[in-house]
Copies of this chain bind each other. A is one copy, B any other.
Amino acid sequence: MVFADISMSVDGYVAGPNDGPANGLGDGGERLHDWMFATSGWRELHGIEGGTADQDSEIAAEMFANTGAIVMGRRMFTTGEGPWGDEPPFRMPVFVVTHTPREPVSKRGGTTFTFITGGVRAAVSAAREAAGERDVLVAGGGSAISQCIGEGLVDELRIHMVPVLLGGGVRLFGGGVSGELATDRVVATPAATHMRFTGVRSPA
């Protein structure tokens, strides 16, 4: 199963204005992950103690619970590479969709970055192969997720809608991808409304 999972503002942004290596998720963009960073589910995955054990925590833990490989866009990789450091939190194969060939990189803790220049379809295919029986997570950014949905590669879309208006930045959906979804589950907490959609495989 291939699922996309991302945090989004009410106005549809997954990063704030001026994102990039020097400015992370952009102006105000880190706000989108507050719900996650606070949870014990997320902290445990990242080897950090403490955090809240609540519905947000359970949902944060679902992100990696049955995941065997990750696909991400070049922009997300470039932004994250520095902060993730020598022991990135993924601890599984990560396939980066890029136009620039690069040798694979192995990090401590089991994270490997493999650079795929053949587009999102090739990246998802490589990730499925690596994941075996486990799921593939398309982790972002907006462009990679939107492209994967547009190509009919995504079985499930999980959006964590954070009650904030960023007013600008990187949109999850820049337009051009259409189709019916089906609401599979919605869990609302004060920190975020966690929505899970299926039926994203057959865009119109």
Contact = CB atoms under 8 A, between A and B. Distances in A.
A51 interface: no
11 contacts: A11-B172, A28-B178, A149-B165, A164-B178, A165-B173, A165-B181, A166-B178, A167-B173, A182-B190, A183-B193, A188-B195
Contact of A178 (B165, B180, B200): B165
Secondary structure of the A contact surface, majority rule:
loop
A130 interface: no
Interface of A: 10-12, 28, 149, 157, 159, 161, 163-168, 171-173, 175-183, 186, 188-190, 193, 195, 197, 199-200, 203-204
Contacts of A193: 183, 186, 193, 195
Given A11-B173, A165-B203, 18 more contacts: A10-B159, A11-B172, A161-B195, A163-B180, A163-B183, A163-B197, A164-B179, A164-B180, A164-B181, A165-B179, A165-B180, A167-B173, A167-B175, A167-B176, A168-B175, A183-B188, A186-B188, A193-B195
Contact of A11 (B164, B175, B183): B175
Contacts of A161: 195
Contact of A190 (B11, B149, B183): B183
Contact of A177 (B157, B167, B180, B195): B167
A88 B201 CA distance: 40
A50 B182 CA distance: 25
Nearest to A195: B193
B12 A171 contact: yes
Contacts of A189: 183
A191 to B, nearest CB: 8
Closest 3 CB pairs of A and B: A167-B178, A186-B188, A11-B173
A163 B181 contact: yes
Contacts of A182: 163, 190
